[in-house]
Structure 1
Amino acid sequence: MSFSELGLSPAIVKAVAAQKFPQPTPVQKVAIPEILNGRDLLGIAQTGSGKTAAYALPLLDKMQTNRAFKNRYVKALVLVPTRELALQVGEVFLSFSAHIPIQIKTLAVFGGVSINPQMMKLQGTDILVATPGRLLDLVESKAVHLSEVETLVLDEADKMLNLGFEEEMRQILALLPKRRQNLLFSATLDNKVNAIQETLLHEPILVEIKEEETSGPSLISEMAYLVATEKKGPFLRYLIKHRNMQQVLVFVSATQRADHLVTKLANNGIKAVALHSGKSQGARTEALALFKKGKVAVLVATDLASRGIDVQYLPYVINYDLPRSSKDYIHRIGRTGRAESAGEAITLVTPEDAHHFKIIQKQTKRVISTQETGDIDLKGF
């Protein structure tokens, strides 16, 4: 099935083609026609399933003939839990709308940065992507009005609730018109999400894309290397240079290790940036942009800071430090092998890590090919 068979307008289909999307993902095949028909929808799907485009494309399609005519009265509202996800979702909308003849304005707003520039940019906004706290600040400042919102999207609703945004979400819902389309996306359907969807959604279509957490995506090849602790840094640099890796996401266990690793890589002629909670929002945004644009080859990140990172065709993920749990392992390697592109996940295992790595393999029901590295000459790395 192609995007042109989902009911999207020719302009949107061209926009998809310009982004080189090969074909719709399972969640897109089901969700796009239903959203175009105005149905409420409950989507249970993991990050990397294509869920953002599943709602972005039909929203942009409908917005072509239904733009916001009152200034600061947005037509579509997308609520997300984190600043990183707000930027990512906003980028998806912008990447598609850039190829649409009719100008549709999308803006992402979030806390941690000055509110004044966001207030100014809200003029003429059709689609607003927002974190709950910053949205309420903007509403209180009368910088945006929600009384004419026609479509509400709650993205990663489970994470939003787990981060304690339930009260903010209820305040926002009270500001919206009763007649509207509601789209709720979540990785899981736990009790909190179920309670929200029961009150929010009206006769929703359920789209559930099951991905066994124990299996991981099928387009990912996995490999582990046994490395002496003191040789981890040199071996990482050897691996990146020997394999000519042009874009690789490297996971570490702590913020200090991220900065240290970036310095070591830079000293050896490998351009790298760090992404962690110790950096300002501006620095994190710049780091991710440099990586996505190919200005740097390596992004070194902690698990927490990596939440919401979505690089469509990321070829390599390296676990420099082992994750704490099997669940974190699956989330890490799931950053590659997306959009039906092959990816490779590599794990560096020290003697101290060996037992923990065996536990991860057992819990995830996998046997990962492991190679010795003692014979590799690491001089100069």
Structure 2
Amino acid sequence: MSFSTLGLSKPLVEAVAEQHYTKPYPIQEDAIPAILQAKDVLGIARTGSGKTASFVLPILELFHRAKTVKIKRVNVLVLVPTRELAIQVADVFQTFGKALPNPVKTVAIYGGVAVNPQMIAVHGAEIVVATPGRLLDLVSSNALRLSDVEILVLDEADKMLELGFADEMNRVFDLVPAKRQTILFSATLGDAIADINQSLLRNPVTIQIDDEEQDIDLIKQTAYRVDAERKGPLLRYIIKTGKMKQVLVFVSSVRTADNVVTKLSKNGIQAAAIHSKKTQGARSDALSRFKARELTVLVATDLMSRGIDIQFLPYVINFELPRSPKDYIHRIGRTGRAEASGEAISLITPDEEHHFRVIQKKMKKRVEMINSEDIDLAGY
């Protein structure tokens, strides 16, 4: 199947080709036609499964059709859990939207920055990508109305609930029209998501891409057995000897992220951290530099990584393991995208070995374990 068979117009098909998308992901094959048919959609798929384009492309197609025949414009609200994801989703809308003959105004609004510029920016916006709290701030200031929303998208709905946005989400639901199209995407289908499905969606097309269906075979996985005090030097050894130019390193805490960046920088490796304690400007700058390959290493916590979407990222390194096997799969899935190969490396201390065996059992894949005792880390 190709994108041209999904109901997209020529400008968008050409824009997809320019972004090096060769064929639709499974979720795109089902979601794009359903959204174009004005159906509600419930999509369950992990981060990195292609779900952003699965709602961005059909929504832009609807704008193209509306503006071509001069009918009432579409008004779209996309709710996301983090600032980084808001910026990323808006960027995808803008990237593909450039292909359309008539411009579509997309604005990202999120907390952590001054509200006044955003109040000005949303004037005349046709697509608003927002975190719940800042969205309600703008509504209470009369800078934005939700009574004209025709399409509501909930992206990473499970993460919004995990972050405690349930009350804000319910307030938003009360403000948008009952008659609308609703599109909900989540990495998991828990009780809370099932409740939202029952209360918000009308006879939705349900699309579930199970983790077992996610192809991680293109990702070369390696693990190093290492004592805790040798983790930092081993990380630097791997990056330097491997001549790595773009590496996403995962850690479990803000403190560790900053410590890792400090040690990398002292050893001549350009690195920056992205976590909740950084200002929005610092986070945006780090992510932009990393995507442009001006920065060798980006160190991230799991929450902040939700906004990192790089199509051909070559390396992911787990400096520390995540709490769940599902999060591990999400992490390594940052590489090996778009049918490109990638490499995932994990640094495993003796205390983490049992947990790593559980992760391997869950993903039904054995990872080669290299003993690092004989590696000379002097100078690293």
Unaligned runs of 5+ residues in structure 1 are 68-72
Equivalent-residue separation in structure 2 for 1:314 and 1:324 (angstroms) = 23
Offset from partner CA, 1:171-225 (integer Å, 9 cap, x none):
2222223322111111222222222222222222111112239x87332221012
Spell out the pairing of 1:175-190 with structure 2 (5 A cutoff).
Answer: 175-190=175-190
Most deviating of 105-114 and 53-62: 105-114
Tell whether the 8 Å contact from 1:94 to 1:106 is kept in structure 2 after alignment.
yes
- Displacement of 1:362 in angstroms is 3.8
- Displacement of 1:363 in angstroms is 4.4
Offset from partner CA, 1:47-96 (integer Å, 9 cap, x none):
111111000001111112436xxxxx971111112222211211211221
What is the Cα-based RMSD across aligned positions, in Å? 2.1
Secondary structure, counterpart of 1:66 in structure 2: helix
Match of 2:347 in 1: 348
Match of 2:287 in 1: 288
Classify 1:295/1:30 alpha carbon distance in 2 versus 1 (closer, same or farther; 3 Å): same
Tell whether the 8 Å contact from 2:48 to 2:330 is kept in structure 1 after alignment.
no
Spell out the pairing of 1:165-184 with structure 2 (5 A cutoff).
Answer: 165-184=165-184
Equivalent-residue separation in structure 1 for 2:119 and 2:161 (angstroms) = 26
Letter in structure 2 aligned against 1:205: V
Match of 1:368 in 2: 367
Secondary structure, counterpart of 2:374 in structure 1: coil
Letter in structure 1 aligned against 2:340: S
Equivalent-residue separation in structure 1 for 2:377 and 2:317 (angstroms) = 18
Spell out the pairing of 1:16-95 with structure 2 (5 A cutoff).
Answer: 16-66=16-66, 75-95=75-95
Secondary structure, counterpart of 1:62 in structure 2: helix
Match of 2:310 in 1: 311
- Displacement of 1:124 in angstroms is 2.4
Match of 1:248 in 2: 247
- Displacement of 1:247 in angstroms is 1.0
Letter in structure 2 aligned against 1:47: T
Equivalent-residue separation in structure 2 for 1:58 and 1:77 (angstroms) = 14
Tell whether the 8 Å contact from 2:324 to 2:359 is kept in structure 1 after alignment.
yes
Q: Check if 1:274 corresponds to 2:273.
A: yes
Tell whether the 8 Å contact from 1:74 to 1:145 is kept in structure 2 after alignment.
no
Classify 1:238/1:9 alpha carbon distance in 2 versus 1 (closer, same or farther; 3 Å): same
Match of 1:70 in 2: none
The percent identity for this pair of structures is: 57
Equivalent-residue separation in structure 2 for 1:145 and 1:14 (angstroms) = 34
Tell whether the 8 Å contact from 2:62 to 2:74 is kept in structure 1 after alignment.
no
Equivalent-residue separation in structure 2 for 1:325 and 1:46 (angstroms) = 14
Match of 2:263 in 1: 264
Equivalent-residue separation in structure 1 for 2:365 and 2:287 (angstroms) = 31
Offset from partner CA, 1:137-158 (integer Å, 9 cap, x none):
1111111122222211111222
Equivalent-residue separation in structure 2 for 1:234 and 1:130 (angstroms) = 40
Match of 1:300 in 2: 299
Equivalent-residue separation in structure 1 for 2:317 and 2:305 (angstroms) = 13
Match of 1:104 in 2: 104
Secondary structure, counterpart of 1:22 in structure 2: coil
Tell whether the 8 Å contact from 1:48 to 1:339 is kept in structure 2 after alignment.
no
- Normalised TM-score (structure 1): 0.92
- Displacement of 1:252 in angstroms is 2.0
Secondary structure, counterpart of 1:183 in structure 2: strand
Letter in structure 2 aligned against 1:251: F
Most deviating of 321-330 and 220-229: 321-330
Tell whether the 8 Å contact from 1:216 to 1:330 is kept in structure 2 after alignment.
no
- Displacement of 1:131 in angstroms is 1.2
Spell out the pairing of 1:314-329 with structure 2 (5 A cutoff).
Answer: 314-329=313-328
Most deviating of 300-309 and 32-41: 300-309
- Displacement of 1:263 in angstroms is 2.0
Letter in structure 2 aligned against 1:2: S
Most deviating of 282-291 and 366-375: 366-375
Match of 1:237 in 2: 236
Tell whether the 8 Å contact from 2:42 to 2:205 is kept in structure 1 after alignment.
yes
Tell whether the 8 Å contact from 2:82 to 2:304 is kept in structure 1 after alignment.
no
Secondary structure, counterpart of 2:233 in structure 1: helix
Classify 1:151/1:353 alpha carbon distance in 2 versus 1 (closer, same or farther; 3 Å): closer
Classify 1:110/1:99 alpha carbon distance in 2 versus 1 (closer, same or farther; 3 Å): same
Q: Check if 1:221 corresponds to 2:220.
A: yes
Secondary structure, counterpart of 2:147 in structure 1: coil
Classify 1:309/1:57 alpha carbon distance in 2 versus 1 (closer, same or farther; 3 Å): same
Classify 1:229/1:186 alpha carbon distance in 2 versus 1 (closer, same or farther; 3 Å): closer
Spell out the pairing of 1:150-169 with structure 2 (5 A cutoff).
Answer: 150-169=150-169
- Displacement of 1:352 in angstroms is 4.2
Match of 2:9 in 1: 9
Most deviating of 269-278 and 352-361: 352-361
Q: Check if 1:125 corresponds to 2:125.
A: yes
Equivalent-residue separation in structure 1 for 2:164 and 2:242 (angstroms) = 43
Tell whether the 8 Å contact from 1:106 to 1:126 is kept in structure 2 after alignment.
yes
Equivalent-residue separation in structure 2 for 1:271 and 1:59 (angstroms) = 39
Tell whether the 8 Å contact from 1:74 to 1:125 is kept in structure 2 after alignment.
no
Equivalent-residue separation in structure 1 for 2:259 and 2:162 (angstroms) = 32
- Displacement of 1:298 in angstroms is 0.5
- Displacement of 1:305 in angstroms is 2.7
Classify 1:304/1:167 alpha carbon distance in 2 versus 1 (closer, same or farther; 3 Å): closer
Equivalent-residue separation in structure 1 for 2:205 and 2:324 (angstroms) = 34
Letter in structure 2 aligned against 1:227: V
Letter in structure 2 aligned against 1:286: D
- Displacement of 1:169 in angstroms is 2.2
